[in-house]
Amino acid sequence: MLRSLLIANRGEIARRVIRTARRLGVRTVAVYSDADANSLHVREADAAVHIGPPPARESYLVQQKILDAAKATGAEAVHPGYGFLSENAKFADAVKAAGLIWVGPPASSILAMGLKDAAKKLMTEAGVPVTPGYLGEDQSEKKLQSEADRIGYPVLIKAVAGGGGKGMRRVNAAGEFSAALASAKREAAASFGDDRVLIEKYVTRPRHIEVQVFADRHGNAVHLFERDCSLQRRHQKVIEEAPAPGMDEKTRAAVCDAAVKAAKAIKYEGAGTVEFIADASEGLRADRIWFMEMNTRLQVEHPVTETITGQDLVEWQLRVASGEALPLKQSELKITGHAMEARLYAENPATGFLPSTGPLTHFRMPANVRVDSAVEEGGEVSPFYDPMIAKVIASGPTRAEAAARLGAACGDVEVWPVRTNAGFLRRALADEDFIAGKIDTAFIEQRLERLVPKTEPSSSVLQAAARTRIAANPHADDASPWSRLQGFRVAGRPHTQVRLRAGTSTYDVEVEARQPTLHGRMVGDDMVVFDGGDAFAFSLAPMHAIDGEGAGSGSIVSPMPGKVIAVKVKAGDTVTKGQALLILEAMKMEHTLTAPFDGKVASLNASEGGQAVEGTVLAVIAAAK
Task: Looking at 333-442, list the stretches that DSSP marks H as alpha helix, in order from N- to C-terminal side.
Answer: 399-411, 422-430, 432-435
CB 276 within 8 A of CB 292: yes
User: What distance in Å separates the CA atoms of residue 399 and residue 244, rounded to the nearest whole number?
Assistant: 10
* Residue 564 and residue 611 in contact, taking contact as beta carbons nearer than 8 Å: yes
Active-site residue, from 196, 297, 427, 499: 297
- From 387, 385, 381, select the one nearest 357 (Cα to Cα): 381
> What b-and-e string marks burial along 424-452, b requiring 16 or more CB atoms within 10 Å of the CB?
bbbbbbbbeebeeeebbbebbeeeeeebb
**CB proximity list for 341: less than 8 A, separation 6 or greater:** 239, 240, 241, 301, 303, 304, 391, 392, 393, 406
d(CA 497, CA 489): 13
CA distance 18 to 28: 6
- Report which residue type is found at 10: R
Annotate 498-516 with b (16+ C-beta within 10 A) or e (fewer): bbbbbbbbbbebebeeeeb
Task: Based on the residue annotation, tell me whether 297 is a catalytic residue of this protein.
Answer: yes
CA distance 517 to 205: 41
Is 361 exposed, middle or buried (CB count within 10 Å of its CB: 0-12, 13-18, 19+)? middle
d(CA 341, CA 237): 10
- Comparing CA positions, the residue from 448, 461, 571, 562 lying closest to residue 505 is 461
Q: What is the dihedral of CA 36, 42, 47, 49, to 10 degrees?
A: -10
Residues 6+ apart with CB under 8 A from 163: none
State how far Cα 304 lies from the chain centre.
16
Residue 392: which of 414, 413, 361 has the closest Cα? 413
Please, what is the angle between helix 116-125 and helix 249-265, to 10°?
110
Catalytically active residues are: 297
